[in-house]
Amino acid sequence: MASPAGSSRPPSVERLLSAVRPRLVGPREPAALLAVARAVIADERARLGSGAHGRHIDELALEVRARLDAFGGPGEPGLLTVINATGVILHTNLGRAPWPVAAIDAAVAAAASYSLLELDAGTGRRGPRFRVAEDHLVALTGAEDALIVNNNASAVALAVGLAGRKGVAVSRGELVEIGGGVRIPEIIRRAGARLIEVGTTNRTRADDFSEPLASGRAGLILRVHPSNFRQSGFVESPDPRALAALVRAHGALLVEDLGSGALLDTAAFGLPHEPTPADALAAGADLVTFSGDKLVGGPQAGLIVGRADLVARLRKDPLARATRPDKVLLAAIAATLGLYRAGLATTAIPVWRMVAAPLEALRARALAVAAQAGDMLADLAGPPPGPPGGNSPGISIEAVDLVATLGGGSLPGEGIPSAGLVLRGRSAQHVLARLRAGDQTAGAPAAGVPAVIARIDDGAVVMDLRTVDPAADPGLAAAIARALAG
Ligand SMILES: *Cc1c(COP(=O)(O)O)cnc(C)c1O
């Protein structure tokens, strides 16, 4: 590429590599080093081509080192973590459930070591794949057997395959989009099953399923929890017991996709009762599927419980192998489910801790964070222009009552009384963006300020403390002060 007159050419790869090598700590594989050096030279050539001045070779060498460090190595965080101050407990875009400590420990141990994943300790021979999580599910739901796959969407795809050559009948009121553009009808079709739509959008009766079952067109009824919306008015949906009786009469199957699938009774927390997998099985479902990372509160997983003969068929399905969880997921979901059996779910599972947090405790935290953020803001603003107390003209940090939600398609439209903060006096969009950015710049004055995801209500920035771990409150206060300063 021709460079404009006066600018130099980038150094050769060999020269750059000689300048980089003394700056590296420890060995690097030559191929990785070469790839980064070439990329830096290509970028430099493009800069020169656009008329910029050539950079000194030492600068380019530092650039190579910085890019290598950013790719990975000790202390390099993978995903960027954020504080979830949205008040949506199961926020799909923020990674749904934070894991219980027991699940994290189990996952780390499983990842770091070999394990008896498929080896029988007694005989020394190959045994069934680690079954602890599935045994927990059997005990917790009263099912005959259980199977774990990678997520609930694959659990549904696997289960509807039991229809074989016959069709899968679904009420038109339950052909839902679950988020991220994923639609139940498409999952059914991609699983190779034929969809038979039954009833109408607002009203479907058990009787509507009679013809497809009696004619042999349908071999399976799929009930889908309408997770993320609520119908009201002139609506009717079939009683699951009536559907169960129908499938029995016609030798068909009833599969229920519960979506969230609470393992504790939500009514105990002042919320409406969310159907549990045990409820669905008791009402006659042959199989029930639900997610591991919604109300169960653990890692992403698809949990399938129900009849032993059907679970055995699913286990042999090649699709089960294609959606098989790894040892880390199995260890983490087993540890999560074990907490329910140990009677520790509401204290040890973050999702349930958030649901159960008393309003009074949240109000007290809101006052404390508001005061701390105010003090920090006063410090940042410095003595001269800002009046004492941190409340520069028009800026306010106020503790308020709010309404949180479960999210993740659980109990749509149901609010949970909550408390948090309202920030006023600066452009809400600007504050939201500053909160989102946090400060990752090492050595910057505000280094270590966490990124915070908040929301805008009525033109003001709102932060709900129900979804914030109390241990993160000081970081939240620092983030608020930084976002409002300057
Ligand atoms: C969330 C949800 C799914 C998908 O579950 P994933 O675990 O995200 O794959 C399927 N069906 C319903 C009803 C849901 O709410």
Atom of ligand 1 nearest to the CA of 153: 9
pLDDT tens readout for residues 18-33: 999 999 988 899 999 9
Q: How many angstroms separate the alpha carbon of residue 96 from the centre of ligand 1? A: 12
Q: How many angstroms separate the alpha carbon of residue 274 from the centre of ligand 1? A: 15
Q: How many angstroms separate the alpha carbon of residue 259 from the centre of ligand 1? A: 5
pLDDT at 8 over 80: no
- Count of CB atoms situated within 10 Å of the CB of 142: 12
Task: State the pLDDT at residue 392.
Answer: 60
To test the ligand 1 pocket, which listed residue (158, 176, 188, 227) has its Cβ within 8 A of the most ligand atoms? 227
Ligand 1 surroundings by CB, under 6 angstroms: 151-153, 156, 178, 224-225, 227, 257, 259-260, 291, 302, 409
Task: State the pLDDT at residue 77.
Answer: 59
Which H/E stretch holds residue 255?
strand 253-259
What's the angle, vertex CA 296, arms to CA 294 and CA 301, rounded to 5? 70
Task: State the pLDDT at residue 68.
Answer: 92
Token output for 449: 């300020």
Pairwise CA distance, residues 260 & 266, whole Å: 12
Question: What's the whole-number mean pLDDT along residues 88-98?
Answer: 93
414 DSSP 8-state letter: E
* Residue ID of nearest Cα to ligand 1 atom 1: 259
Question: What's the whole-number mean pLDDT along residues 440-459?
Answer: 75
Q: How many angstroms separate the alpha carbon of residue 92 from the centre of ligand 1? A: 11
* Residue ID of nearest Cα to ligand 1 atom 2: 259
* Residue ID of nearest Cα to ligand 1 atom 6: 152
Task: State the pLDDT at residue 178.
Answer: 80
To test the ligand 1 pocket, which listed residue (178, 228, 255, 287) has its Cβ within 8 A of the most ligand atoms? 178
* Burial of 342: CB neighbours in 10 Å, binned 0-12, 13-18, 19+: exposed
What's the angle, vertex CA 204, arms to CA 201 and CA 207, rounded to 5? 155
Count of H-run helices and E-run strands, the chain = 18, 16
* Residue ID of nearest Cα to ligand 1 atom 13: 259
Question: What's the whole-number mean pLDDT along residues 270-278?
Answer: 91
Q: Are strands 396-407 and 410-424 parallel, antiparallel or unpaired?
A: antiparallel
Q: Report residue 176's pLDDT band, with 50, 70 and 90 as the boundaries.
A: confident
Q: Name the 3-class secondary structure at 403.
A: strand
Task: State the pLDDT at residue 414.
Answer: 83
**In sequence order, what are the beta bridge partners of 147?**
304
Pairwise CA distance, residues 441 & 62, whole Å: 17
Distance of CA 124 to the CA centre of its chain: 38
Atom of ligand 1 nearest to the CA of 291: 7
Q: How many angstroms separate the alpha carbon of residue 260 from the centre of ligand 1? A: 7
Pairwise CA distance, residues 274 & 262, whole Å: 7
What's the mean pLDDT when you consider all of the chain? 91
* Residue ID of nearest Cα to ligand 1 atom 3: 259
pLDDT at 16 over 80: yes
Q: How many angstroms separate the alpha carbon of residue 114 from the centre of ligand 1? A: 32
**Domains, the chain, with CATH or none:** 13-70 (no CATH), 101-348 (3.40.640.10), 354-485 (3.90.1150.180)
Q: How many angstroms separate the alpha carbon of residue 121 from the centre of ligand 1? A: 36
pLDDT tens readout for residues 386-445: 444 445 668 999 999 999 999 877 777 789 999 999 999 999 999 999 999 887 554 444
Q: Name the 3-class secondary structure at 275.
A: coil
Q: How many angstroms separate the alpha carbon of residue 199 from the centre of ligand 1? A: 23
Q: Range with the lowest mean pLDDT among 84-93, 202-211, 431-440?
A: 431-440
484 DSSP 8-state letter: H
Q: Range with the lowest mean pLDDT among 246-255, 342-351, 369-378, 380-389?
A: 380-389
Instruction: Specify whether the CB–CB gap between 400 and 285 falls below 8 A.
Output: no
Token pair 């005990």: residue: 139
**In sequence order, what are the beta bridge partners of 222?**
255
Q: How many angstroms separate the alpha carbon of residue 153 from the centre of ligand 1? A: 6
CA dihedral 127, 128, 133, 137 (to 10 degrees): -140
pLDDT tens readout for residues 114-157: 988 888 888 989 988 889 999 999 999 999 999 999 999 999 99
Task: State the pLDDT at residue 1.
Answer: 41
- Count of CB atoms situated within 10 Å of the CB of 356: 16
Atom of ligand 1 nearest to the CA of 301: 7
Cite the beta strand spans of 56-212 per DSSP E.
82-84, 88-90, 145-149, 167-171, 177-179, 182-183, 194-198
Predicted TM-score of the model (pTM):
0.89
Task: State the pLDDT at residue 400.
Answer: 98
Token pair 């958030």: residue: 354
Task: State the pLDDT at residue 109.
Answer: 96
Percentage, residues of the chain above pLDDT 90: 76
Question: What's the whole-number mean pLDDT along residues 240-265?
Answer: 95
Task: State the pLDDT at residue 233.
Answer: 84
Task: State the pLDDT at residue 389.
Answer: 47
pLDDT at 236 over 50: yes
CA dihedral 439, 441, 444, 450 (to 10 degrees): 20
Q: List, in order, residues 6 or more apart from 433 with CB less than 8 Å away.
A: none
Token output for 401: 């009552």
Task: State the pLDDT at residue 447.
Answer: 54
Q: List, in order, residues 6 or more apart from 120 with CB less than 8 Å away.
A: 126, 127
159 or 80, higher pLDDT: 159
Task: State the pLDDT at residue 445.
Answer: 45
pLDDT tens readout for residues 30-76: 999 999 999 999 999 999 999 999 999 999 999 999 999 888 876 55
Q: How many angstroms separate the alpha carbon of residue 203 from the centre of ligand 1? A: 23
Q: Report residue 6's pLDDT band, with 50, 70 and 90 as the boundaries.
A: very low
Task: State the pLDDT at residue 289.
Answer: 98
Distance of CA 164 to the CA centre of its chain: 32
